[in-house]
């Protein structure tokens, strides 16, 4: 299913936090753990109450029953088959058929870092690069009303999902009339900065009469590497001069190399009393425009080999995104997680090109 580059990307992504469920989904599953898949690994995620959250391999080490069909019991996950109990650290703490023990020392499941942020449950498979959960600026902005969209799963690799978000040339074609104009197909080529583990650039869209619930206006993009996008929009001010700002935030959770579950929120400083439905409906319209294209890229996985697809200078953002991914993959292969942290933190400025880019 995957070539070398995709496997390299999957290995890289294990070092980062990814959302695996909304908090509501976790609560709805209780008292059973929730079964999720992250980077091809099946996990059981559960709220153990005072014992905290748990994210463990969804396979009991006794006879391989899924722990996600067990239940939470006394701050542990109890397997439904023979009742063995497992704590948040993955250790077996009880074997009902052997009340006097011993518990085999090998009875310890893989257990992963798990946290809640922005109403979502986040998991990190490998903490050795010291990564943090990506910022969601609207969440901490008191002027913003934040509304969560419904997560959606598409048959495409997560880096391609991110590329679609930052692809300035597709607006004119895929989103003619909603986010772009087909009669203005030439996008600007932005200067790009790497700051604090984020790729940042600005985009000024063509003049267009956009829907009043559209996220359309001067756009400040932040891409917390590797799989999150935050877009801060500045819209025309209210008649009384009040500034209007909105946000679209999305993180592409890599279910496996060719499947992505996107978690997203929209936020606005204006119209707090208004029904949220039209704001979400506009995003659904945009997603319906993107889906037939993004889910029909063959192969669904992003290839990092620059010769695999043909790029032109208006693919600037995508090229820089891929360049940073390549550098992170190379750092991981050569220097391990510490080298990844170094490449992630290094600032860099890439000015808008004056000549065609080599590809």
What interhelical angle do 158-165 and 277-294 show, nearest 10? 120
Helix (H, G, I), strand (E, B) or coil at 82: coil
What interhelical angle do 4-13 and 316-345 show, nearest 10? 50
Q: What residue is closest to Fe ion based on CB?
A: 290
Taking CB under 6 A as the rule, does residue 91 contact ligand FES? no
Taking CB under 6 A as the rule, does residue 82 contact ligand FES? yes
Stretch that binds ligand FES, among 79-87, 117-125, 227-235, 350-358 (CB under 6 A): 79-87
CB-based contacts of 308: which residues, under 8 Å, 6+ apart? none
Cα R_g (the chain), whole angstroms: 22
CB 87 within 8 A of CB 51: yes
Q: How far is CA 189 from the centre of its chain?
A: 25
CB 25 within 8 A of CB 239: no
Stretch that binds ligand FES, among 24-32, 62-70, 212-220, 266-274 (CB under 6 A): 62-70
Stretch that binds ligand FES, among 4-12, 74-82, 144-152, 240-248 (CB under 6 A): 74-82
Taking CB under 6 A as the rule, does residue 65 contact ligand FES? yes
Q: How far is the CB of 105 from ligand FES (least distance, A)?
A: 17
Taking CB under 6 A as the rule, does residue 329 contact ligand FES? no
Q: Is 52 left (phi over 0), alpha (psi -120 to 50) or beta?
A: left
Q: Mind giving me the DSSP string for 174-215?
A: HTBTTTB-TT--------EEEETTEEEEEE-PPP----TTS-
Stretch that binds ligand FES, among 59-67, 102-110, 150-158, 257-265 (CB under 6 A): 59-67
| Residue 119 interacting entry, from ligand FES, Fe ion, none, C-beta within 5 to 8 Å by type | none
Q: How far is the CB of 109 from ligand FES (least distance, A)?
A: 11
Stretch that binds ligand FES, among 82-90, 165-173, 202-210, 229-237 (CB under 6 A): 82-90
The mark string for 297-326 relative to ligand FES (x by CB under 6 A, - otherwise) is ------------------------------
Residue ranges in contact with Fe ion by CB under 5 A? 290
Burial of 65 (0-12, 13-18, 19+ CB in 10 A): middle
Looking at the Cβ atoms of 92 and 215, the one nearer to ligand FES is 92
CB 246 within 8 A of CB 235: yes
Of the candidate residues 45, 57, 79, 331, the single one contacting ligand FES (CB under 6 A): 79
| Residue 290 interacting entry, from Fe ion, ligand FES, none, C-beta within 5 to 8 Å by type | Fe ion
Footprint of ligand FES (CB under 6 A): 60, 62-63, 65, 79, 81-84
């Amino acid at each position: 299913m995957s070539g070398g580059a995709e496997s390299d990307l999957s290995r890289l992504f294990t070092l980062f936090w990814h959302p695996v469920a909304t908090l509501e989904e976790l609560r709805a599953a209780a008292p059973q753990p929730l079964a999720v898949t992250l980077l091809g690994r099946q996990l059981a995620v559960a709220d153990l109450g005072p014992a905290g959250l748990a994210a463990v391999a969804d396979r009991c080490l006794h006879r391989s029953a899924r722990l996600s069909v067990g239940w939470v019991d006394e701050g542990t996950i109890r397997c439904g088959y023979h009742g063995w109990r497992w704590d948040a650290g993955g250790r077996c703490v009880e074997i009902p058929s052997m009340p006097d023990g011993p518990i085999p020392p090998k009875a310890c499941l893989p257990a992963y870092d798990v946290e809640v942020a922005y109403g979502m449950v986040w998991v990190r498979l490998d903490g050795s690069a010291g990564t943090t959960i990506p910022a969601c600026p609207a969440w901490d902005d008191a002027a913003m009303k934040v509304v969560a969209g419904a997560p959606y799963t598409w048959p495409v690799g997560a880096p391609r999902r991110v590329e679609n978000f930052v692809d300035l040339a597709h607006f004119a074609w895929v989103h003619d009339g909603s986010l772009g104009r087909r009669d203005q197909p030439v996008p600007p080529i932005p200067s790009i900065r790497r700051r604090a583990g984020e790729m940042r650039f600005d985009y000024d869209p063509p003049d267009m009469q956009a829907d009043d619930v559209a996220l359309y206006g001067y756009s400040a993009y932040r891409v917390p590497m590797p799989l999150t996008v935050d877009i801060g929009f500045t819209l025309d001010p209210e008649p009384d001069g009040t500034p209007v700002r909105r946000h679209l935030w999305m993180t592409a959770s890599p279910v496996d190399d060719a499947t992505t579950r996107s978690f997203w929120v929209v936020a606005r400083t204006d119209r707090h009393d208004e029904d949220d439905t039209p704001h979400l409906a506009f995003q659904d319209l945009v997603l319906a425009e993107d889906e037939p294209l993004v889910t029909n890229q063959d192969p669904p996985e992003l290839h990092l080999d620059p010769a695999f697809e043909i790029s032109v200078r208006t693919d600037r953002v995508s090229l820089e995104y891929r360049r940073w991914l390549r550098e992170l993959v190379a750092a991981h292969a050569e220097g391990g997680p510490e080298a990844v942290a170094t490449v992630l933190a290094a600032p860099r400025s890439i000015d808008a090109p004056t000549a065609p880019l080599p590809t």
